[in-house]
Amino acid sequence: MKIKSKFKQREIGMIPEDWEVKVLKEIASYINEKISLDEINPNNFISTENMLPNKSGITIASSLPKVGKVTQFKKGDILFSNIRTYFKKFWLAKFSGGCSNDVLVIRKRLSIDNKYLYYFLSQDNFFEFTVLTSKGTKMPRGDKNSIMSYEINIPSFPEQIAIAKILFDLDAKIELNEQMNKTLETLGQALFKYWFIDFEFPNEKGKPYKSSGGEMVESELGDIPEGWEVSKLGDVLSLLKDGSHNPPKRTTSGIRFIAGASDLSHFEIDFENCSYISEQDFKEMHRVWELKENDVLLTIVGTIGNIAIVKKSDLPFSLQRSIAVMRANEQISYSYLYFLLNSTNFKMFLGSRVNPTAQPGIYLGTLSKMELIIPKKNILAQYDILAKSIISFMQKKCAETRNLIQLRDSLLPRLMSGKIRVPV
């Protein structure tokens, strides 16, 4: 049933007549309760370092404070990194723990639903407000008093719960997709190891090759199956190139330009916050080569080792020099290359050859000399059937997640302004 609403004008815009407007300090407060260091661990300690930007959640803490106490938070509290608030490090706590002083703990009062409050504050308007009222230039911090003056639309409590449920269910599906892709990634890596490191690919009888007595021969990399070869990465790639060494002028439209590791952090390329270059600069940069479907990208400067596969729908775009492009030739496939670059052996290779400079990196010439094992064509063909199906499913889940995010982000301001009413 469609709800017909009458609206009233407020400073923050039109809202339904039956809604109220209150400032944040009327419905929530900062929490400053402290707990000892004995009560925290890497899994329940939150600092601005292990909060992810763009409301992407948290990771396990890489370090813990050594002295003093930390602020206590409880499940359901809202945590907000108060340094450079434009990074949007914002999280609805799923467990209790402790956090650093740079993280604000906001706890709702009885008159409002915590999930509704979280989603209302997760709108871009709130982050823009915190940036405009921040103090400091080099390391701007949100002004705590100003933040508490931010105005919140307040529907009835049952409507708050109904609105929050729609958004929370979308987020739950997004999180499920992301978890499924992590599981598929782990499965793909396990399959690669089983076939090409443990050499337990199926023999002619469908049994594990090595443990069933398969013939092994000596090589530079140790014993390998008979008929397999050892080669160098540069010899099995038809393209190994990095992006632009002289970044062209950025524009507000044109050809998308991927600048660094943060754009390759989730199996696919993240174009959400990318910049652009002109079509003329793009043509000049790619007069010798151009990106193609199934090229594999690897970050080689700064954060090293992030990987993505180019999809046809991604093209065209361009790259900064911190990203290398690898294109498999007929001896290997893009699926073999992708899971090779994700393998423990390759990570160890990268770690042992990183240039010890202010900004760590690895040379293309060094990459090209990495030795790898080349399986027989029939074994590679069998592996590809499995590996490519895993990659294809991961790509479908990524596409589904993008659509869910777009749906959530388009619904959010409409639900929070009452332009879309939810039946209670």
pLDDT of 3 above 70: no
Find out whether the peptide bond into 225 is cis, omega within 30 degrees of 0.
no
pLDDT digits (tens, 9 = 90+) for 94-104: 999 999 999 99
Q: Please give the Cα distance from 52 to 59 (Å, whole number).
A: 7
Instruction: State both tokens at 200.
Output: 């337990």
Closest CA to 191 of 391, 386, 389: 386
Mean pLDDT score of the chain, rounded to an integer? 91
Q: Please give the Cα distance from 29 to 99 (Å, whole number).
A: 16
Percent of the chain with pLDDT over 70: 97
pLDDT band at 2 (very low <50, low <70, confident <90, very high): low
On whether the CB atoms of residues 362 and 354 are closer than 8 A, the answer is yes
Q: Please give the Cα distance from 403 to 395 (Å, whole number).
A: 13
On whether the CB atoms of residues 319 and 243 are closer than 8 A, the answer is yes
Query: Looking at residue 1, what is its pLDDT?
Result: 47
Instruction: State both tokens at 24.
Output: 């944040």
pLDDT of 327 above 70: yes
pLDDT of 137 above 90: no
Q: Please give the Cα distance from 90 to 104 (Å, whole number).
A: 10
Q: Please give the Cα distance from 86 to 84 (Å, whole number).
A: 5
What angle do the packed helices 334-341 and 377-417 form, to 10 degrees?
Answer: 70
Instruction: State both tokens at 243.
Output: 């992006």
On whether the CB atoms of residues 406 and 7 are closer than 8 A, the answer is no
- Residue 242 φ then ψ, to 5°: -105, 175
**Average confidence (pLDDT) over 32-38:** 94
Q: Residue 329: what residue type?
A: N
pLDDT digits (tens, 9 = 90+) for 370-404: 999 999 999 999 999 999 999 999 999 999 999 99
On whether the CB atoms of residues 146 and 127 are closer than 8 A, the answer is no
Question: Tell me, what DSSP letter sits at residue 293?
Answer: T
CA dihedral 342→347→350→354, nearest 10 degrees, is: 120
Query: Looking at residue 94, what is its pLDDT?
Result: 95
pLDDT of 207 above 90: yes
CB contact set of 200 (below 8 Å; sequence gap of 6+): 194, 208, 209, 210, 211
pLDDT band at 272 (very low <50, low <70, confident <90, very high): confident
Closest CA to 239 of 340, 332, 118, 328: 328
**Which one has a higher pLDDT value, 285 or 129?**
129
User: What separation in angstroms does the CA of 129 have from each of 53, 80, 119, 274?
Assistant: 17, 14, 16, 23
**Average confidence (pLDDT) over 314-318:** 91
Alpha helices in 43-143 (DSSP H): 114-121, 124-132
pTM to 2 decimals? 0.84
- Radius of gyration in angstroms for the set of CA atoms belonging to the chain, rounded to a whole number: 26
**Average confidence (pLDDT) over 173-192:** 95
Closest CA to 30 of 64, 59, 69, 73: 73
On whether the CB atoms of residues 79 and 99 are closer than 8 A, the answer is yes
pLDDT digits (tens, 9 = 90+) for 193-206: 999 999 999 999 99
Domains of the chain: 12-154 (3.90.220.20), 229-374 (3.90.220.20)
